């Protein structure tokens, strides 16, 4: 799929703002180290999460590492964060490996998640963040290594983990067929020669975390809910966000004609796009957030 991924990340910022579970976020605040923590965010993209956490007063000092496999996206994050900080009157200093925003040093690190986890890291993070990431990896395989990136007893915050339910309203006769096939495609997805997530990651994380010795201390729903206002318009850039969701479903299923016929998929997409343009479409995705601590005894 070819589209403006940075634009998509910006468009979904307001959707994530509403979705992130406040009970789980409050527990993160309680667990956050008092001094200057080292925070590592995997699959960090454009840096919208560090901006959000600064806006919300969760992070203000220390070091925040943005880890992503996309070099171009990380380069864009430097400018995006600079513009964001300037709009808030924050002090900005560009650095060779990132930028200083107020009292927070933001480092940009390019690496594929699996390779980064497999590498030896002498300096571990105090806080580990993964937003809309764990449903894209084979959690039982990746999770133990991820937790090794934390100091013993370090804090993890795993958010927007898809949990097997997408809803489009008004209903359509092909909904069950299309969405069942889309979830099957998630369950069979492979990247870098490895299984790449599943459609019910959210609910299964409870047991995966416990099996890894890091049971959740707080968990709760973080559903995306995008809907038009009384005048039929969508907030901010959220109509673009939903268009990308529809395109993602199209791209996943247009080579799966044995699961969904081309005509049926085309009809479903055409009606959903018409409803979106008319300010009629509601989109909901069920997801879960988790916060907890890594095992207190770890070996590299």
User: Tens digit of pLDDT for each residue in 190-240?
Assistant: 887 788 899 999 999 999 999 999 999 999 999 999 999 999 999 999 999
pLDDT of the residue at 113: 87
Based on its alpha-carbon atoms, the radius of gyration of the chain, rounded to whole angstroms, reads 19
> Where do the H-state alpha helices sit in 13-129?
13-19, 22-31, 48-55, 71-87, 113-118
The residue-averaged pLDDT of 99-103 equals 97
Residue 187: pLDDT over 60: yes
**pLDDT reported for residue 75:** 93
pLDDT at 57 over 90: yes
Given this model, what pLDDT does residue 1 score?
41
State what percent of residues in the chain have pLDDT above 90.
89
Structure tokens at 233: 């318009």
Residue 45 scores a pLDDT above 50: yes
Could you tell me where the beta strands, DSSP code E, fall in 102-213?
103-110, 125-131, 150-169, 190-191, 194-195
This prediction's pTM: 0.95
pLDDT of residue 297: 67
- Whether 3 shows a pLDDT value over 80: the answer reads no
How many Å apart are CA 231 and CA 59, to the nearest integer? Answer: 37
Q: What is the pLDDT of residue 120?
A: 67
Q: Which two tokens stand for residue 283?
A: 């989109």
Q: Under 8 Å CB-to-CB from 6, ≥6 apart: which residues?
A: 45, 46, 73, 76, 80
Conformational region of residue 224, where left means phi above 0, alpha means psi within -120 to 50, and beta covers everything else:
beta
Alpha carbon distances (Å) from 209 to 158, 283, 295: 11, 29, 10
Among the listed ranges 82-91, 93-102, 111-120, 213-222, which one has the minimum average pLDDT value?
Answer: 111-120
pLDDT score of 31 more than 80: yes
């Amino acid at each position: 799929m070819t589209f403006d991924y940075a634009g998509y990340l910006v468009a979904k910022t307001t959707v994530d703002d509403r979705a992130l579970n406040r009970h789980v976020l409050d527990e993160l605040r309680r667990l956050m180290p008092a001094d200057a923590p080292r925070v590592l965010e995997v699959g960090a993209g454009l840096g919208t999460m560090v901006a959000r956490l600064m806006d919300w007063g969760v992070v203000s000092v220390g070091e925040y590492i943005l880890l992503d496999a996309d070099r171009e996206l990380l380069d864009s994050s430097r400018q995006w964060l600079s513009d964001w900080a300037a709009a808030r009157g924050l002090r900005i200093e560009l650095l060779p490996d990132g930028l200083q925003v107020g009292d927070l040093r933001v480092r940009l690190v390019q690496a594929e998640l699996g390779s980064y986890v497999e590498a030896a890291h002498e300096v571990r993070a105090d806080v580990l963040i993964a937003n809309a990431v764990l449903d894209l990896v084979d959690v039982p395989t990746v999770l133990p290594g991820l937790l090794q990136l934390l100091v013993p007893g370090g804090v993890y915050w795993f958010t927007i983990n898809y949990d097997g339910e997408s809803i489009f309203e008004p209903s359509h006769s092909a909904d069950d067929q299309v969405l069942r096939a889309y979830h099957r495609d998630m369950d069979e997805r492979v990247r870098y020669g490895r299984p790449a997530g599943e459609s019910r990651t959210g609910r299964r994380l409870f047991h995966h975390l416990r099996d890894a010795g890091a049971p959740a201390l707080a968990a709760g729903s973080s559903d995306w809910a995008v809907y038009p206002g009384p005048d039929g318009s969508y907030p901010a850039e959220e109509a673009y966000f939903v268009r990308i969701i529809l395109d993602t479903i199209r791209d996943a299923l247009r080579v799966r004609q044995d699961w969904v016929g081309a005509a049926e998929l085309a009809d479903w997409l055409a009606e959903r796009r018409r409803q979106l343009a008319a300010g009629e479409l509601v989109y909901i995705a069920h997801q879960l957030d988790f916060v907890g601590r890594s095992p207190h005894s770890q070996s590299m």
